[in-house]
């Protein structure tokens, strides 16, 4: 006995019953397999967690190594700067450059040091009477003036080298 309010297994679940009941199915259509959303395998999850942990550990270890080596170089530069001999400022620049690869505060310090060094360079050039437009060394590749090549050296000019081929025709 079947309940008339419940649809039978042969009738479709949605819609009215078909009018023509003379058509019969030869075989019942098997239900389509439902693929549930598979939960990830425990081994895959553990492997992903292990890889993530290894990556974080590597980044942290790299950061600490850069910190220790960079600070050591900066401190070495300070010590060398106090002692006579090799100047410590380039060594300190090297240490801050290494630290700047990982730390924003070191980038800011390095940027400030560069600005101060450029300002000090400009101040030194002004004190020596040099301007940015005048080169500090004479240009060797520049052609000598035409009358200077044919003239004799003055009393304060250095003696000419007889093997010098510049200006010879």
Structure tokens at 90: 């380039």
pLDDT bucket at 62, cuts 50 / 70 / 90? very high
Quick: pLDDT tens for 99-154. 999 999 999 999 998 899 899 889 988 888 877 654 555 555 555 555 544 555 55
Closest C-alpha to 91, from 72, 117, 106: 72
CB neighbours of residue 88 within 10 Å: 19
User: Which pLDDT score is estimated for 90?
Assistant: 86
**Cα separation values, 40 from 22, 37, 46, 165, Å:** 49, 9, 10, 82
Rounded to two decimals, the pTM is: 0.46
Q: Is the pLDDT of residue 21 over 90?
A: no
Domain coordinates in residue numbering, the chain: 56-131
99-108 pLDDT, tens digit each = 999 999 999 9
**Which whole number is the average pLDDT over 79-83?**
85
pLDDT band at 84 (very low <50, low <70, confident <90, very high): confident
């Amino acid at each position: 006995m079947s309940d008339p309010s419940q649809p039978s297994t042969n009738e479709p679940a949605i819609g009215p019953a078909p009018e023509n009941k003379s058509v019969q199915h030869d075989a019942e259509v098997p239900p389509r397999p439902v693929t549930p959303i598979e939960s990830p395998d425990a081994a895959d999850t553990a492997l992903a967690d292990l890889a993530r942990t290894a990556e974080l550990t590597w980044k942290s270890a790299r950061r600490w190594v850069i910190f220790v080596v960079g600070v050591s170089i900066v401190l070495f530069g300070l010590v060398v700067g106090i002692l006579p001999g090799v100047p410590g400022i380039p060594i300190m620049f090297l240490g801050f450059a290494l630290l700047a690869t990982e730390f924003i505060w070191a980038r800011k310090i390095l940027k400030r040091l560069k600005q101060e060094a450029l300002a000090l360079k400009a101040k030194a050039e002004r004190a020596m009477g040099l301007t940015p437009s005048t080169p500090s060394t004479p240009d060797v590749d520049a052609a000598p003036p035409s009358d200077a090549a044919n003239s004799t050296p003055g009393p304060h000019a250095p003696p000419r080298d007889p093997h010098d081929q510049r200006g010879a025709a």
